Amino acid sequence: MRFVDIVVSSSQGEKKMFECQYCNAKFKSERTLMVHVCEPKRRWMNKDEKYSRLAFYAFNRFYELTHAVGKPIDFDMFAKSKFYIGFTKFGKHIININAINPEEFIDFVIQNSVKLDKWTSDLVYNTYIQELNRKESADRAVERSILLMQKWGEEYERPFNKFFKEVSKPLAIHYIKSGRISPWVIFNSDNGAELIDSFSDEELVLINDYLEPSFWTRKFNARVEDVQFVKMILNKAGI
Ligand SMILES: [Zn+2]
């Protein structure tokens, strides 16, 4: 129990002093100790915040994947690590950008030997998204994209299958750039293809790196059965 405050006696054994177990500062009253906040205590108090849990998970994965430490890692080791700030910044970043499959994203930055201070850069996330889109199976891509359409439908109170016809262009660009809507679905739906056709040259420049038309043309030619499957699902759903 880390939050049990330790009561210590002074050297004379008369006047009681209250010591912060995180930074060892001493206080005359227990109340002062209770309201006292120092950086080590703050790290422990925020232990169960989502960003902190993600950061601690990433810290663990880092040592697991790089085999840097043989023993199990506890939170104390993390809280005292010089990398604490870098990892928690990354935890907050994952939440801010609402990263797809956070665990996979964490493994991605570690396995690609990205330097910790670059983990929060847009370029790194975009590369991750491109790779995720490229590697993802067709059925998973369809499932994920339809879930997004349903979320959109709830928010705008529209049937989800009107997504490609009615989504605003800026929002569509945002979804494409953040990898939320898979090329599997965009290119294999007539309405999706029409949406792409409706973009201006300037808008296409913004999304081309994410859509990678030549990559997907090659992929679709090699995966005819998957393409048929995707088209069948999208047709049935009226997307
Ligand atoms: Zn303290």
Query: What is the per-residue DSSP string for 136-203?
Result: S-HHHHHHHHHHHHHHHHHHHTS-GGGHHHHS-HHHHHHHHHTT-S-HHHHHHSHHHHHHHHHS-HHH
The structure's pTM equals 0.76
Ligand 1 centroid–CA 29 distance in Å is 14
Question: Are the C-beta atoms of residues 21 and 2 closer than 8 Å to each other?
Answer: yes
- Directed axis angle between helix 102-111 and helix 122-135, to 10°? 110
8-state DSSP, 113: T
Give the pLDDT of residue 5.
47
8-state DSSP, 118: G
How far is 109 from 107, CA to CA, in rounded Å? 6
Question: Are the C-beta atoms of residues 194 and 169 closer than 8 Å to each other?
Answer: no
First to last CA, the chain: 54
Ligand 1 centroid–CA 27 distance in Å is 10
3-state secondary structure of 9: strand
Residues 6-35: tens digit of each pLDDT? 444 445 555 789 999 999 999 999 999 999
Give the pLDDT of residue 14.
56
User: How many Cβ atoms are within 10 Å of 198's Cβ, its own excluded?
Assistant: 11
Residues 54-87: tens digit of each pLDDT? 999 999 999 999 877 777 889 999 999 999 999 9
Ligand 1 centroid–CA 18 distance in Å is 11
Percent helix, strand, coil in the chain, to 5, is 65, 5, 30
User: How many Cβ atoms are within 10 Å of 16's Cβ, its own excluded?
Assistant: 12
Ligand 1 centroid–CA 10 distance in Å is 18
Ligand 1 centroid–CA 79 distance in Å is 13
Give the pLDDT of residue 187.
96
Ligand 1 centroid–CA 37 distance in Å is 6
φ, ψ (nearest 5 deg) of residue 18 = -115, 125
- What are 53's two structure tokens? 């849990």
Ligand 1 centroid–CA 51 distance in Å is 22
Ligand 1 centroid–CA 26 distance in Å is 9
Ligand 1 centroid–CA 21 distance in Å is 7
Give the pLDDT of residue 13.
52
Question: Are the C-beta atoms of residues 54 and 93 closer than 8 Å to each other?
Answer: no
- Taking only the tens of pLDDT, the chain with its 239 residues reads 344 444 444 455 557 899 999 999 999 999 999 999 999 999 999 999 999 999 999 999 999 998 777 778 899 999 999 999 999 999 999 999 989 899 999 999 999 999 999 999 988 998 998 899 999 999 999 999 999 999 999 999 999 999 999 999 999 998 998 888 999 999 999 999 999 999 999 999 888 888 889 999 999 999 999 999 999 999 999 99
